[in-house]
Amino acid sequence: MFQASSFGATIAIDDGYTVSKRFEKYKKLDPSISLPVIEFAAKQRVQFNLRYAVVDDRELHLDLFHRVTTLPEKGLIVLIHGGGWRAGNKSHFHPLATLLAQQGFDVATPEYRLSIEAPYPAATDDIKVAMDWLVNNKELLGINTQTVTIGGGSSGGHLAALVGFKTNHDNINSKTSSPYEVNAVISLDGLLSTTTELALKYEDKKGHKSALSMWLGGEYAKRMNKWLEVSPVEYVSDKSPKLLVISSGQHRFTAGREVIKGKIETHNGVFQLIEYPKIIHTFWLFDPYLTAVSKQITSFLAT
């Protein structure tokens, strides 16, 4: 853990979750994985560190990967990095963002305040502000927001599902009106319920020291309402986005998927599950899985 400055504000950073550390850990379990090497297409454009908000002297930034202009426009994808709600970096999704931009999507990877800096709801507030900023500035940025998809991995997959489903739910209930609806959610090994028996078995295991507990300000027994409030399954409606879940085969990471599948299908929505036969967690960071995931997302969004 260390501290860094942003626009005059000093923030704490947990660097315990990095791509290199995950690679060193996982290559022993799966020797087939490799760090991705991505080639940019001709005239492919990226804008780094665009400021989308300032909160208490704290700048918040996103990176924007513009679609390859020779391809049909397919809409906006916002990718949320993981790291136990506490760590991680927007750069973790740069390889996937590059590949999706080469399929015709505009792709943004925002940073957001993590639990070591600010508890819930800071992260979800930041992600929603980033999405609103992108849509409201689409002409200036030169991006297509005809469709809006939010995706993420691990805790980022949970946040993507939470923000995606809650945005449409709140629009229906006139709580907070957005200038758009979320059309699709992509959850890569992300929690879909925080209160199922399987979720609690792992996410509440260390009590107040569990990653989710530290984000929510307390373990389940003491903060039940908050745990329920951040459970994506609670926001399913007939206006919910379609959902693609890509699982490592380790079911703890996608806890609640059977429940949310049932609710979505009750509302005649779209749910798709792609499950690997028990591979590493954070598979999307490495090839050969990264390339496969980009194709699976593109195929799903085309339906």
pLDDT at 176 > cutoff 70: no
What integer pLDDT is reported at residue 12 of this predicted model? Answer: 83
Give the whole-angstrom CA distance, residue 127 versus residue 139.
20
For the chain, the average pLDDT equals: 95
C-alpha Rg value of the chain to the nearest Å:
18
Match 């373990």 to its residue by tokens: 219
Give the whole-angstrom CA distance, residue 109 versus residue 289.
19
- Using DSSP's 3-state secondary structure scheme, residue 238 falls into coil
Give the whole-angstrom CA distance, residue 288 versus residue 296.
13
pLDDT in tens, 46-64: 999 999 999 999 999 999 9
Task: Let me know: does 132 contact 102? Beta carbons within 8 Å.
Answer: no
Give the whole-angstrom CA distance, residue 41 versus residue 78.
20
Q: How is residue 4 written in tokens?
A: 């860094």
DSSP string of 208-240, one letter each residue: GGSHHHHHHTS-TTT-HHHHHHT-GGGG--TTP
pLDDT at 174 > cutoff 80: no
pLDDT at 29 > cutoff 70: yes
Helix, strand, coil in percent for the chain, rounding step 5: 35, 20, 40
What integer pLDDT is reported at residue 20 of this predicted model? Answer: 97
Q: Mean per-residue pLDDT for 164-169?
A: 96
Q: Which of 12-21, 136-145, 183-192 has the lowest mean pLDDT?
A: 12-21
What pTM does this model have? 0.96
DSSP 8-state secondary structure symbol assigned to residue 131 = H
Give the whole-angstrom CA distance, residue 284 versus residue 57.
33
Contacts of 94 (CB under 8 A, 6+ apart): 38, 63, 65, 109
Q: How is residue 124 written in tokens?
A: 């979800």
pLDDT in tens, 64-86: 999 999 999 999 999 999 999 99
Kindly list the distances between the CA atom of residue 43 and the CA atoms of 38, 65, 66, 199, in Å, as whole numbers in the listed order. 15, 12, 10, 44
Kindly list the distances between the CA atom of residue 207 and the CA atoms of 19, 90, 159, 200, 223, in Å, as whole numbers in the listed order. 27, 28, 21, 10, 11
pLDDT at 8 > cutoff 60: no
pLDDT at 168 > cutoff 90: yes
DSSP 8-state secondary structure symbol assigned to residue 74 = -
What integer pLDDT is reported at residue 2 of this predicted model? Answer: 40
pLDDT at 179 > cutoff 90: no
pLDDT in tens, 234-273: 999 999 999 999 999 999 999 999 999 999 999 999 999 9
